[in-house]
Chain A
Amino acid sequence: KNEVEQSPQNLTAQEGEFITINCSYSVGISALHWLQQHPGGGIVSLFMLSSGKKKHGRLIATINIQEKHSSLHITASHPRDSAVYICAVHTGTASKLTFGTGTRLQVTL
């Protein structure tokens, strides 16, 4: 079993829909990152969380440390949100990130 699990693996939504991507992890962490990867390959860091909730524009990320679970929400989705969203955790015992397998999001008109 992977230390970091994401769901769903693939997601298709219509423009304007509210989207939720989930991330569960099985180890103790000191921080969780949400990353966005477009088809060109480059990765953009969206959020880094160690507790609570963060919001940036139409994106909201939450984390529940006790339940070892985080969610990424996209409100009023747009085709430009189409990308792979990756959850990654830092366990604190080593300065490396462990990644989920990613959620491929396609937003259509």
Chain B
Amino acid sequence: KAGVTQTPRYLIKTRGQQVTLSCSPISGHRSVSWYQQTPGQGLQFLFEYFSETQRNKGNFPGRFSGRQFSNSRSEMNVSTLELGDSALYLCASSLIPMGNTEAFFGQGTRLTVV
């Protein structure tokens, strides 16, 4: 059974550009959550999608957005990149919305903004 796949693994972008990251959950999982990890702030929740609907959103500016497709694959987009957006972006999938169910994490996408 394939795990959670995130693409790309590494990305370098310039300030002001936009970026799209992809997450393919484990087959059969309908819930995908996104997290940002930085040395200063640690892991922080970005948003969660279940059955193509955003169920919850963390405290991030509107430049951060996401969506989920009918096959449960999810994308997150960051527009007008800032240096502070440099981080490891992780997604996790679960059968149902995360909480009382095991979560499976991807390897992450390391974004560097220069």
Contacts and interface: CB of A to CB of B under 8 A. Distances in A.
Contacts of A48: 100-103
A96 B107 CA distance: 19
A3 B71 CA distance: 35
A41 B88 contact: yes
By secondary structure, the B interface counts as strand
Interface residues of A, number: 25
Nearest to B92: A43
Contacts, number: 67
Interface stretch (B15-23, B41-49, B75-83): B41-49
Contacts of B33: 95-97
B105 A42 contact: yes
A90 interface: yes
Given A42-B107, A43-B105, A97-B103, 7 more contacts: A41-B37, A41-B88, A41-B107, A42-B106, A43-B108, A45-B103, A101-B42
